[in-house]
Amino acid sequence: MASASEGQQHPVKLYLQVWGWLFVFSFMSYLVDYNDLQGVWRWTLVLMFMMIKAALIVIFFMHMFWERLSLVYAILLPPLCLLVLVGFLAIEGEYITLLRDLYLGR
Amino acid sequence: MANHASTERPQTREGAWQSLVDDWSSDRQAFKVSWGKAMMWIFLLSDTFVFSLLLIGYMAVRLTTPQPWPDTSEVFALTVLGHEFPLLLIAIMTFILITSSGTMAMAVNFGYARNRRMAALFILFTAILGASFVGLQAYEWTDLIQKGVRPWENPMGAPQFGSAFFMITGFHGLHVSIGVLYLLIVARKVLRGDYDRSGSYEPVEIAGLYWHFVDLVWVFIFAFFYLL
């Protein structure tokens, strides 16, 4: 990169494109709610747009695309542990609901 | 000596501690970025965990509450010209925050291009957008408080909605507010020419990392709390 000594400097056009896409995906996730989609479609679309937006921000706005791999892995891998916690609490949540159904009759 | 020293454990307790200190203090560097940027990334990583715990806690209480969860698209609807738009307030806040991320990216670019005035202008613009986001959030809080929502109760259903709402949006709003202050400080330094003198506009990029992170967290809050 020609501007390596001057830090992260990239074409303005790229930033504007990323910005535009963020608008498009936010608007599309708003449309999911506006059209009152429910069930699997709602979950799939909302989570997909969320992941795309998060990826665009981290990769381009936060410059992860141009950083060295040692930094990229040190930052992006640890949050994956959180999926374990999500799994535990999802199982626990089902269990508590089951207990309430059994003993409290809800 | 150097060869098999590495395979033998130090015999004395003192030797073991000495080896620990030596290993951590011998000017070795894993991340080939400035310490300021590395520290900001490590802070953001820890902040990721804090926000994730709040969101996962929200998931846990929402899964287990026996009472109905309020419909967020109705709760945060706005009526414009006689037509009720679901979740409009939150959509506007989302667009404001995304716009501010774009202006911040431009500020970083102008900084590295040594355009002092434009960099400061875009940082100030970002700060104004951030402040208006906090303003809308204050409006949102006032609205819900007037509807009787409290961290411990909620007339629309599950009381956990109140605690999750105030905790998650409050913690995020605090981040935006601190970010606005941070940006104002950086803008002042840019205008004063501090970074021309120090020779590096990297502090603007580091402030940008923080600001984009706040936007990133909002992407998740928008999806999990408001849309799902």
DSSP state of B70: P
ipTM: 0.90
Query: Is residue B56 a part of any domain in this protein?
Result: yes
Q: What is the pLDDT of residues A69-91, one digit of tens each?
A: 989 999 999 999 999 999 999 99
Domain assignment of residue A106, given as a range: 68-106
d(CA B136, CA A18): 25
Q: How many domains does chain A have?
A: 2
Query: Is residue B9 a part of any domain in this protein?
Result: no
Which residues of chain B lie closer than 8 angstroms to A66, CB-CB?
Answer: none
pLDDT above 70: percentage of residues in chain A: 93
**Under a CB-based contact definition with an 8 Å cutoff, are residues B57 and B163 in contact?**
no
Q: How many domains does chain B have?
A: 1
Do A40 and A50 share a structural domain? Answer: yes
Could you tell me which chain A residue has the CA closest to the CA of B53?
Answer: A82
The one-letter amino acid code at B79 reads T
φ/ψ of residue B129, rounded to 5: -60, -40
Query: Is residue B14 a part of any domain in this protein?
Result: no
**Under a CB-based contact definition with an 8 Å cutoff, are residues B107 and B204 in contact?**
yes
Q: pLDDT band at residue A5, thresholds of 50, 70 and 90?
A: very low
Do A53 and A26 share a structural domain? Answer: yes
> What is the H or E stretch that residue B80 is in?
strand B78-80
Do A106 and A84 share a structural domain? Answer: yes
Query: Is residue B154 a part of any domain in this protein?
Result: yes
Say if residue B46's pLDDT is above 70: yes
Do A40 and A14 share a structural domain? Answer: yes
Distance (Å) from the C-alpha of residue B190 to the closest C-alpha of chain A?
16
Domain assignment of residue B128, given as a range: 33-227
Query: Is residue B18 a part of any domain in this protein?
Result: no
Which residues of chain A lie closer than 8 angstroms to B28, CB-CB?
Answer: none
Distance (Å) from the C-alpha of residue B220 to the closest C-alpha of chain A?
7
d(CA B63, CA B88): 26
- The encoded tokens of residue B140 equal 């949102």
Do A55 and A3 share a structural domain? Answer: yes
Query: Is residue B28 a part of any domain in this protein?
Result: no
Do A57 and A72 share a structural domain? Answer: no
Inter-chain residue contact A7 with B73, CB threshold 8 Å: no
d(CA A21, CA B162): 33
A39-56 and B202-221 helices cross at what angle (nearest 10)?
Answer: 180
From residue B103, give the alpha-carbon distance in Å to each of B125, B159, B208: 7, 38, 10
Q: What is the pLDDT of residues B47-65, one digit of tens each?
A: 999 999 999 999 999 999 8
Whether pTM > 0.90 for this model: the answer is no
Query: Is residue B17 a part of any domain in this protein?
Result: no
**Those residues with Cβ within 8 angstroms of residue B12's Cβ, 6 or more apart along the chain or in another chain:** none
CATH code of B108's domain: 1.20.120.80
Say if residue A1's pLDDT is above 70: no
Of A12, A33, A82, the CB nearest to B86: A33
Alpha helices in chain A, H assignment, sequence order: 12-34, 39-56, 69-76, 82-99
Do A51 and A32 share a structural domain? Answer: yes
Do A76 and A60 share a structural domain? Answer: no
Chain B (93-132) residues lying within 8 Å, Cβ to Cβ, of chain A: 94-95, 98-99, 101-102, 104-106, 108-109, 112-113
- The encoded tokens of residue B86 equal 């679901």
